[in-house]
C-alpha cells in the first residue's frame, strides 16, 4: 500500500497511520521504533583486506599458473616454481590495493541521507535524529531542511523541494496537499510526497512519515545496488582466454601424450614433454604485465583529472560503444540561465555560463548594449525585483553556487547582466511586500517603492500571468492588450517552448497599495517573457561530436519532460534527424525484447525513473554493446553499477554516485570522458601488443616441441629453459612494450574493440607469420648440432628462440607500419630491454651457475651469428604481411566512396 500514499487524501493518510496532525505520543513513537527499527539504510558488508587478497586468486588463469608451479616444482624446478608464485602474489597485492577501497554504495547512501529532523510529538516540536523517525511521525519542513524519510504532505505554504539527485529533474518541485491521480505516477509527478535525502528549497510545510529506512525510495535503490553484479569486458575476456588455454593445454596435452606413445616413446619421456608443452603455452607473465599496463594507464588518466577506482575500468572505457549520459549535471551544469528575452519590440538573446553574472546581448545576430534598449533594461530591473535567491562564488570549487530557488537565481543573474544589482536596487526602491510562488496561483509577486507610486511585479507561468493582463508595455507605454498583441505573445510562448526553454512571463502594475493581496493583482501590464534553460556545459557539444567521430554513440537519459529533453539533446548534437525519443511511459509498455529493439532508433530517454535507467542499461548490455553510464545523483547509482563502466562527476556528484562508479571525473568535465576513451583505447592496443608477443613466443616454443616429436628429433627445449625464456626474456620485453607510446588515430571510427576473446583474427594471422620462422629456424639450427650430447644443440635452439623473441617484440609495435619506418627511439624502454635480455642470454651461456641450471654452454661468434641470422626471418615474414595488409586497407579506402 505504501506506493499509493500519494493518491490518498491527507485525512485518509493520517487515519491509516493511526496518527493526527499533533503527531504521535512519545511512548507510541518509542513502541513503533521497536517495531519498524531505526530509520537507517543497511550498510554493505565490508570485506577485510585478507578476504580481498584471497579473492584476487579466483581466476582460471591463476589456477592454471598454480598447476604449472606444482608441475615445475615436482620436476625439480623449485626456483622456477617460486618465481611463478611470486608473480601471483605480487599481482594480488596490487589488486588488493586497488580494490581495497571498493564500492561501499550502501554506506554512502546512509551518509548522504542522514540528518536531524523536527517532529511534532504530543503537540510539541522536537529535534530528533532522523534515525529515530517512525511511520506516523509528523515532521516540520522549512527552507534548507533535508527530508529525513518519505512522507505525505499535509500542509504546504509554497513548499518546494529539490529532487534532482533522486529524479533527475533540474527544477525544484512545488508540493501540495491534494492527492495525485494515477497509481503509477513517477516520483517526479508525486507532488503530494517528499522523499528521504531531498532538500527543501523554499516555503514551509508539514508532512506525515509513511516509510522509513529500506522502505523509502532511496532504500529501494539500496536494495537494487546490493543485487547488481557486473563484470568488466577485460576481466571477462581474460576469463574466457584462460578457459581456452585450459582446454587447449588439457586436451592437447592428452592427445600429444597418446600420439607420443603411439610413436613408440616411453611414458616418462612423453610426460616430460607434455609438462614442457604446458609450461610453454601458459603465459606466466600475463597477470603481472597486464597489471603494469593498467596501472600505467591509471597514472596517465590521473594527470588528466580522471580518477580510476578499478584497474580494469581503464581498458573497458576504451572499448565503450555506448555512452549513456545523464542530462542534469553531465550535459548541463544544473544551473538555469535566462537565454532569451521577448518584449513586444524585439527578441533578445543572452549569452553566458550558468550563474556567472557575465554575458552579452544580441539582437538579430548583432551584439547590442542594454543601455540603448529601454525595454531590455526594464526586463532586467523587474528580474532583479523578482529574485529572492542569492549567488556566491566558491573559490575552493571554482564555481558559482546559489542559495534559494534556481529560477529566481537565474533572474537575479540576468538582472546583474543588465546592470542591476539587487542590493543597490532595493536601497533605492525598498521592498515593501512579497508573495512567494504559489502552486495554485502559479506566480510570484513583489511590491517595491518606485517614485511617487509603488510598483507590483508579477512573474510566473505565462498562462496565469497573461490571464491577469489587460494591457501590454510597448515603447515604455501601456497599450491595450488586444487580440493581435495577445496572439503575438502566445506565439512567442509556443515558439520558445518548442526550443525546450522554460518560459516565465513578467507583468507590472502601478499602485498605491503598501501590502500585496491576491485581489489587487489584476489589470496588469504585460512586460514580456523570460526564456531560460539549464546551462549547457561549455565542452558538451565538442565532447559529443568527438565521441561520435570516434564511433561511440551518445544517448541522453533525463527525468525532464520529453520536449525539454529533446530540445536540449538536439542542441548538443545527440538527437538527430530520424532519431526517436522514448519516455518512461513508453518503456513501461515494452517488454525487454521490444526495448532492446527500440534502442536501435532511440537516442533520448525522457521522464525516466531509476528503474527505467536500469532497464535501459541492461538492454544495451544484452545487445552486446559495451556501455558507459555517467551520472551524479542518487537516482543514477543502480545504472552506474549495472553498466560496464560507471562514470561519476567528482565535483557535483553525490557520495552515492561516486562510490557506485568505477571512474570519477574530478573536473566534472564531460570532455574528459572522450579524452579518457583515447587513453583507454591506447591501453587496449598496448595490452594486445603484449598479449600478441606473449602468445606468439609461447606458441612458437610449443610448436617447436610438437614439430620435433613428429619429425623424430630429441626434445629441443627443457622445461627449465622454457621457464627462463618465459620469465626472463618475455618479461623484460613485455614490460617495455607496455611503455609503447600512444598510437595515432585512436579516436577514429575504424577503431575495433574486442569480441569475446582478447585474441582476434588478425592476431591469429600475425602469430602464424611470427611463429612459422621461429619453429622452422629453431629446428634447423637444432638439427645442425644433434649428437650424443644435446647440450650444444639445446643451447643453439634456446638462443635462436631467444633472439627471435627480441626481434618479435619490435614486430609487435604496430599492426601495419613497417618496423623500418618507425622511429627506433620512439620506445627507449624497448631498446633498454633488448640490451638487458641480450646480456642475460650471454650470462646464461657463460656463467657456470646458470650453465648448470639451464643446461647450456658457451657459443662461438659464428654460432651466435648463425642464431641471429636465422632469427631475423621473424622480422621479414612480418614485414611481408604488413605490406599486403597496408595494400588491402588502401584498396578498401579507395573502393568505399564508390560503393557508397
Of 342, 338, 370, 367, the residue nearest 354 (C-alpha): 338
Active-site residue, from 80, 130, 326, 534 = 326
C-alpha radius of gyration, the chain, whole number: 35
Distance CA 883, CA 818 (A): 8
CA angle 15, 17, 18 (to 5 degrees): 60
DSSP 717: S
C-alpha distances (whole Å) from 504 to each of 379, 443, 519 are: 12, 9, 21
Distance CA 313, CA 648 (A): 13
Element (H, E) at 375: helix 374-386
The 3-state secondary structure of 69-95, one letter per residue: HHHHHHCCCHHHHHHHHHHHHHHHHHH
Catalytic annotation present for 326: yes
> What does the buried/exposed string (b/e) look like for 219-256 if buried means 16 or more CB atoms within 10 Å of the residue's CB?
bbbbebbeebebebbbbbbbebbbeebbeebeebbeeb
Angle between helices 483-498 and 562-572 (to 10 degrees): 60
For 563-623, give the DSSP string: HHHHHHHHHHTSS-TT-EEEEHHHHHT--HHHHHHHTTTEEEEES--HHHHHHHHHHHHHT
> What does the buried/exposed string (b/e) look like for 642-670 if buried means 16 or more CB atoms within 10 Å of the residue's CB?
bbbbbbbbbbbbbbbbbbbbbbbbebbbb
Of 566, 508, 533, the residue nearest 341 (C-alpha): 533
For 126-184, give the DSSP string: EEEEGGG--TT-EEEEETTPBP-SEEEEEEEEEEEEE-HHHH--SS-EE--SS--S-TT
Q: What is the largest CA-CA distance in the chain?
A: 121
Of 248, 255, 282, 250, the residue nearest 710 (C-alpha): 255
The number of angstroms, rounded, from the C-alpha of 593 to the middle of its chain's C-alpha atoms is 25
Distance CA 335, CA 406 (A): 7
Q: Answer whether 628's CB lies under 8 Å from 601's CB.
A: no
Contacts of 729 (CB under 8 A, 6+ apart): 697, 802, 805, 806, 837, 840, 841
Based on the number of CB atoms within 10 Å of its own CB, is 331 exposed (0-12), middle (13-18) or buried (19 or more)? buried
Question: Grid coordinates in use for 23?
Answer: 503527531
Distance CA 428, CA 609 (A): 47
Distance CA 898, CA 900 (A): 5
Distance CA 437, CA 175 (A): 11
Q: Answer whether 542's CB lies under 8 Å from 536's CB.
A: no
Residues with a known catalytic role: 326
Amino acid at each position: 500500500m505504501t506506493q499509493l500514499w500519494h493518491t490518498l487524501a491527507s485525512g485518509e493518510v493520517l487515519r491509516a497511520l493511526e496518527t493526527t496532525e499533533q503527531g504521535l505520543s512519545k511512548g507510541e513513537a518509542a513502541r513503533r521504533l521497536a517495531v519498524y527499527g531505526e530509520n537507517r539504510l543497511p550498510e554493505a558488508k565490508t570485506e577485510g583486506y585478507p578476504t580481498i587478497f584471497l579473492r584476487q586468486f579466483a581466476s582460471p588463469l591463476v589456477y592454471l599458473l598454480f598447476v604449472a608451479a606444482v608441475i615445475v616444482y615436482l620436476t625439480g624446478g623449485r626456483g622456477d616454481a617460486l618465481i611463478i608464485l611470486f608473480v601471483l602474489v605480487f599481482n594480488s597485492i596490487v589488486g588488493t590495493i586497488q580494490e581495497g577501497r571498493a564500492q561501499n554504495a550502501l554506506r554512502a547512501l546512509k551518509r548522504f541521507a542522514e540528518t536531524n529532523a523536527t517532529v511534532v510529538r504530543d503537540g510539541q516540536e522536537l529535534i530528533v535524529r532522523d534515525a529515530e523517525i517512525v511511520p506516523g511521525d509528523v515532521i516540520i519542513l522549512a527552507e534548507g531542511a533535508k527530508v529525513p524519510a518519505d512522507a505525505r504532505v499535509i500542509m504546504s505554504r509554497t513548499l518546494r523541494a529539490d529532487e534532482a539527485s533522486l529524479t533527475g529533474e533540474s527544477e525544484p518541485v512545488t508540493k501540495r496537499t491534494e492527492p495525485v491521480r494515477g497509481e503509477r505516477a513517477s516520483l517526479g509527478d508525486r507532488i503530494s510526497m517528499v522523499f528521504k535525502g531531498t532538500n527543501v528549497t523554499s516555503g514551509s510545510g508539514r508532512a506525515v512519515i509513511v516509510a522509513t529506512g529500506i522502505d523509502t525510495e532511496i532504500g529501494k535503490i539500496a536494495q537494487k545496488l546490493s543485487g547488481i553484479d557486473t563484470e568488466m569486458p577485460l576481466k571477462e575476456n581474460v576469463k574466457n582466454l584462460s578457459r581456452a588455454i585450459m582446454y587447449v593445454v588439457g586436451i592437447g596435452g592428452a592427445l600429444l601424450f597418446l600420439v607420443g606413445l603411439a610413436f613408440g616413446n616411453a611414458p616418462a619421456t612423453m610426460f616430460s614433454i607434455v609438462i614442457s608443452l604446458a609450461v610453454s603455452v601458459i603465459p606466466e607473465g600475463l597477470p603481472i604485465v597486464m597489471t603494469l599496463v593498467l596501472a600505467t594507464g591509471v597514472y596517465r588518466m590521473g594527470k588528466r583529472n580522471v580518477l580510476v577506482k578499478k584497474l580494469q575500468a581503464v581498458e573497458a572505457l576504451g572499448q565503450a560503444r555506448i555512452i549513456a549520459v545523464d542530462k542534469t549535471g553531465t550535459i548541463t551544469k544544473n544551473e538555469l540561465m535566462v537565454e532569451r528575452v521577448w518584449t513586444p519590440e524585439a527578441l533578445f538573446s543572452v549569452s553566458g555560463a550558468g550563474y556567472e553574472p557575465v554575458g552579452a546581448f544580441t539582437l538579430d545576430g548583432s551584439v547590442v548594449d542594454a543601455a540603448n534598449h529601454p525595454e531590455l533594461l526594464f526586463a532586467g530591473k523587474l528580474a532583479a525585483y523578482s529574485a529572492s535567491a542569492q549567488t556566491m562564488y566558491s573559490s575552493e570549487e571554482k564555481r558559482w553556487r546559489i542559495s534559494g530557488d534556481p529560477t529566481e537565481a537565474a533572474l537575479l543573474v540576468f538582472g546583474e547582466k543588465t546592470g542591476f544589482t539587487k542590493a543597490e536596487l532595493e536601497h533605492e526602491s525598498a521592498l515593501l511586500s512579497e508573495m512567494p510562488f504559489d502552486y495554485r496561483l502559479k506566480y510570484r509577486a513583489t511590491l517595491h517603492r518606485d517614485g511617487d507610486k509603488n510598483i507590483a511585479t508579477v512573474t510566473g507561468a505565462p498562462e496565469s500571468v497573461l490571464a491577469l493582463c489587460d494591457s501590454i508595455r510597448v515603447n515604455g507605454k501601456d497599450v491595450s492588450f488586444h487580440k493581435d498583441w495577445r496572439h503575438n505573445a502566445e506565439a512567442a510562448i509556443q515558439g520558445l517552448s518548442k526550443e525546450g526553454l522554460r518560459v516565465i512571463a513578467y507583468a507590472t502594475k502601478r499602485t498605491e497599495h503598501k501590502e500585496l493581496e491576491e485581489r489587487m493583482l489584476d489589470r496588469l501590464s504585460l512586460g514580456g517573457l523570460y526564456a531560460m534553460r539549464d546551462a549547457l556545459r561549455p565542452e558538451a557539444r565538442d565532447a559529443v561530436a568527438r565521441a561520435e567521430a570516434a564511433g561511440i554513440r551518445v544517448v541522453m537519459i533525463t527525468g525532464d519532460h520529453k520536449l525539454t529533453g529533446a530540445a536540449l539533446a538536439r542542441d548538443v548534437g545527440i538527437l538527430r534527424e530520424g532519431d526517436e525519443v522514448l519516455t518512461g511511459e513508453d518503456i513501461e509498455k515494452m517488454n525487454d525484447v521490444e526495448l532492446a529493439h527500440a534502442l536501435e532508433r532511440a537516442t533520448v530517454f525522457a521522464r525516466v525513473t531509476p528503474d527505467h535507467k536500469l532497464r535501459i542499461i541492461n538492454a544495451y548490455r544484452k545487445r552486446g554493446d559495451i556501455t558507459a553510464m555517467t551520472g551524479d545523483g542518487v537516482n543514477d547509482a543502480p545504472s552506474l553499477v549495472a553498466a560496464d563502466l560507471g562514470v561519476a562527476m567528482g565535483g557535483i556528484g553525490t557520495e552515492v554516485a561516486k562510490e557506485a562508479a568505477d571512474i570519477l571525473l574530478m573536473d566534472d568535465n564531460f570532455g574528459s570522458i572522450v579524452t579518457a576513451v583515447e587513453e583507454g583505447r591506447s591501453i587496449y592496443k598496448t595490452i594486445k601488443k603484449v598479449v600478441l608477443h606473449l602468445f606468439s613466443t609461447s606458441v612458437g616454443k610449443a610448436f617447436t616441441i610438437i614439430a620435433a616429436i613428429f619429425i623424430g628429433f630429441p626434445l629441443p627445449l627443457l622445461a627449465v629453459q622454457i621457464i627462463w625464456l618465459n620469465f626472463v626474456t618475455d618479461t623484460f620485453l613485455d614490460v617495455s612494450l607496455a611503455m609503447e607510446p600512444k598510437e595515432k588515430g585512436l579516436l577514429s571510427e575504424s577503431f575495433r574493440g574486442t569480441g569475446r576473446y582478447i585474441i582476434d583474427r588478425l592476431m591469429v594471422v600475425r602469430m602464424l607469420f611470427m611463429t612459422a620462422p621461429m619453429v622452422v629456424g629453431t629446428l634447423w639450427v637444432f638439427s645442425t648440432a644433434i649428437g650424443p650430447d644435446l647440450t650444444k644443440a639445446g643451447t643453439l635452439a634456446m638462443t635462436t628462440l631467444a633472439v627471435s623473441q627480441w626481434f618479435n617484440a619490435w614486430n609487435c609495435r604496430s599492426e601495419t607500419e613497417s618496423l623500418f619506418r618507425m622511429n627506433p627511439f620512439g620506445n627507449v624502454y624497448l631498446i633498454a630491454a633488448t640490451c638487458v635480455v641480450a646480456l642475460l642470454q650471454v650470462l646464461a651461456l657463460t656463467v657456470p651457475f646458470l650453465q648448470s641450471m639451464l643446461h647450456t654452454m658457451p657459443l662461438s661468434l659464428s654460432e651466435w651469428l648463425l642464431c641471429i641470422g636465422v632469427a631475423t626471418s621473424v622480422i621479414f615474414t612480418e614485414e611481408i604481411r604488413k605490406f599486403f595488409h597496408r595494400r588491402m586497407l588502401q584498396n578498401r579506402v579507395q573502393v568505399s566512396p564508390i560503393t557508397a
